[in-house]
Structure 1
Amino acid sequence: MTGAGDAAKEYAAGCAAGIAQVAVGHPFDTVKVKLQAHNTTAHGKVYRNAFHCTRRILVEEGMRGLYKGASSSFIGIALESSLFFGTYSQAKQLLKGKSEDGRPQLQVIIPSAACSGALISCILTPTELMKNASSREACIAWY
């Protein structure tokens, strides 16, 4: 397969990995946020533990309750993972270091990963800053 075809496969694999990450991880985040937001002195102790919280979500809201607000995460993390996988693959192709057994060499892997990480951090840092700032303002306004 051509270099462009290999890169396209890596971008697609990254997208699939991001979708899988959200599909598995978002319910845990939902439970964590509910535990943090509702088990306060103002609300009293609403949930006994994570299992109790999960059971209440499933009973009251169904499976959709565990994925409330996940659409933006599906899009964002799929794009983030796709970009990371793709740029890592392309950087590795540019540096093209293979040992005799065909495996990539450490002097290729580390700079390739650093390049991908630097690119992703340049995109994620401002977006996370905006997200956290708006969350902080919402919390301040709530109190």
Structure 2
Amino acid sequence: MDGLGDAAKEYIAGSAAGVAQVVVGHPFDTVKVKLQAHNTTAHGKVYKNAFHCTSRILVEEGIRGLYKGASSSFIGIALESSLFFGTYAQAKQLLQGKSEDCKPRLQVIIPSAACSGALISCILAPTELTKVSPASISLFYSC
């Protein structure tokens, strides 16, 4: 039963890591997208640089403006990180066995990470592909 509790802790830690990743990273994505979308020849130069863009967002929309559209990211990244952390811990425990040696060994770490990464990529590849526009998909398959 102790192994089950440890696995649960890893899944919860992964979920918390995913939430933290979105809290820190989403504002950068918001600024990047605004710079890409509004600094085109059609719109003229709206923002001078990333700092100007960030300050305009904060003045016009407040802190919530930096997190527009983040709800799906909070859910998705939290689930992704939770699954990655949990499967990594379980694979590591399976490969390490009942060994009392707590020192990390490469012959356990690398296959555990590979298993976890393979599982995540099987889930992420189709979901990321659905985010891409249909024109990009047809371009991808024509190559």
Q: TM-score, normalised by structure 1?
A: 0.90
Question: Could you say which residue in structure 2 is the equivalent of 1:108?
Answer: 108
Question: Could you say which residue in structure 2 is the equivalent of 1:36?
Answer: 36
Q: Quick check: 1:97–1:105 contact (8 Å CA) kept in 2? A: no
* Consecutive unaligned residues in structure 2, runs of 5 or more: 138-143
* Consecutive unaligned residues in structure 1, runs of 5 or more: 138-143
Question: C-alpha separation between the residues in 2 aligned to 1:133 and 1:118?
Answer: 25
- Higher mean C-alpha deviation, range 106-115 or range 126-135: 126-135
- Higher mean C-alpha deviation, range 35-44 or range 98-107: 98-107
Identical columns (%): 84
Question: Could you say which residue in structure 1 is the equivalent of 2:60?
Answer: 60
Q: Quick check: 1:98–1:105 contact (8 Å CA) kept in 2? A: no
Question: C-alpha separation between the residues in 2 aligned to 1:37 and 1:133?
Answer: 15
Per-residue CA distance 1:50-84 (angstroms, 9 max, x = gap): 00000000011111000000000000000000000
The amino acid that maps onto 2:108 is V
Question: C-alpha separation between the residues in 1 aligned to 2:115 and 2:55?
Answer: 43
User: What stretches of structure 1 move > 6 A for 4+ residues in a row?
Assistant: none
Decide whether aligned partners of structure 1 residues 91 and 44 sit closer, same or farther in structure 2, where only a CA change above 3 A counts: same
Decide whether aligned partners of structure 1 residues 112 and 127 sit closer, same or farther in structure 2, where only a CA change above 3 A counts: same
The amino acid that maps onto 2:9 is K
Question: Could you say which residue in structure 1 is the equivalent of 2:27?
Answer: 27
Decide whether aligned partners of structure 1 residues 68 and 134 sit closer, same or farther in structure 2, where only a CA change above 3 A counts: farther
Deviation at 1:34, TM superposition (A): 0.2
SS in structure 2 of the partner of residue 36 of structure 1:
helix
Question: C-alpha separation between the residues in 1 aligned to 2:27 and 2:136?
Answer: 22
Per-residue CA distance 1:75-116 (angstroms, 9 max, x = gap): 000000000000000000110168885212110000000000
CA RMSD, Structure 1 to Structure 2 (Å): 1.9
